[in-house]
Amino acid sequence: MKLEAVLFDFDMTLIDTSTALLRNVNMIAAHFGRPRCTREKLLTVIGRNSRDFWLALLGDERPGYGEYYKKYCVPGETALMVPAPGALECVKHLRARGIRTGCASNRIGPLRVIRAKGLEPLMDCVVGADDVPCPKPAPDVLLRGAQLLNTVPGRTLYVGDTEIDIQAAARAGMRCAAVQTSTPGEQLRQAGAWRVIPDLTQLVPLLEKEKLI
């Protein structure tokens, strides 16, 4: 059965946010007297909801973290975020083939960055954690995305980079193609990824090979 739509995760799938996130976490850590974070540790928790993200990296969760982030980190973070390798070409190619495309993320308000990076015209929908009752690994953001794309889970592919993405896709009834941008390939395979690819440069060739587009 041919695909009708492809939904992309945001952090480290559609957008490389690692530099911005590491800066943000270490700004907050310095201000609140918490240990500094390494890029390697950061990549192990990318994609988690806000509460679990702070718990894993800073050891606790405080209202002050979110307040500091909004006031001091947000103004400079977008400039440090860039489309992931092959992302623009991949999405454009899919759309040229008649595939609807969107973003479904655990990030709160992902449209802000997508709009700032000029990607909004390439997205038929953008769903964040603040748009649904439960974040991933619950299927809510994916199911809402499929609904907005006017398709069904069985004809929608989800593309992500973490075990959480794979779990959410399974619960939504979608296949998940995983990119190795934050998580080792073997770990993604063991988590149940439908296919594992290095990055988005390989997605269209994969879908053509599988005769899904």
pLDDT in tens, 93-108: 999 999 999 999 999 9
pLDDT at 46: 87
Give the Cα separation of 137 and 89 in Å (integer): 28
Looking up residue 169, the CATH number of its domain turns out to be 3.40.50.1000
Domain range for 139 is 5-16+83-209
Residue 1 pLDDT greater than 90, yes or no: no
Residue 13 pLDDT greater than 90, yes or no: yes
Is the same domain home to 46 and 110?
no
Give the Cα separation of 120 and 114 in Å (integer): 6
The percentage of residues in the chain with a pLDDT greater than 90, rounded to a whole number, is 92
> Residue 135, exposed/middle/buried by CB under 10 A (0-12, 13-18, 19+)?
buried
H helix runs in 8-123, sequence order: 18-32, 39-43, 50-58, 63-68, 74-77, 87-96, 111-116
pLDDT at 51: 84
Is the same domain home to 127 and 162?
yes
pLDDT at 50: 81
Sign (positive or negative) of CA dihedral 88, 117, 82, 169: negative
201-212 mean pLDDT: 98
Average pLDDT, the chain: 96
In sequence order, the 6+-apart residues with CB closer than 8 A to the CB of 204 are: 90, 93, 94, 213
Residue 12 pLDDT greater than 90, yes or no: yes
Is the same domain home to 103 and 162?
yes
pLDDT in tens, 126-181: 999 999 999 999 999 999 999 999 999 999 999 999 999 999 999 999 999 999 99
Is the same domain home to 50 and 10?
no
Is the same domain home to 75 and 98?
no
The percentage of residues in the chain with a pLDDT greater than 70, rounded to a whole number, is 100
Is the same domain home to 130 and 163?
yes
Is the same domain home to 31 and 129?
no
To which residue do tokens 């609904």 refer? 147
In 3D, which of 59, 65, 141, 81 has the Cα closest to residue 108?
Answer: 141
Helix (H) or strand (E) holding 159: strand 156-160
Is the same domain home to 161 and 200?
yes
Q: Which of 57, 80, 103 is the last residue of a domain?
A: 80
pLDDT at 62: 87
pLDDT at 115: 95
Q: Which of 27, 56, 80 is the last residue of a domain?
A: 80
Residue 61 pLDDT greater than 90, yes or no: no
Is the same domain home to 41 and 134?
no
Q: Which of 52, 80, 108 is the last residue of a domain?
A: 80
- Which amino acid, 161? D
Is the same domain home to 104 and 184?
yes
Is the same domain home to 127 and 195?
yes
**Which band of pLDDT confidence, cut at 50, 70 and 90, is reported for residue 41?**
very high
Is the same domain home to 205 and 141?
yes
Q: How many domains does the chain have?
A: 2
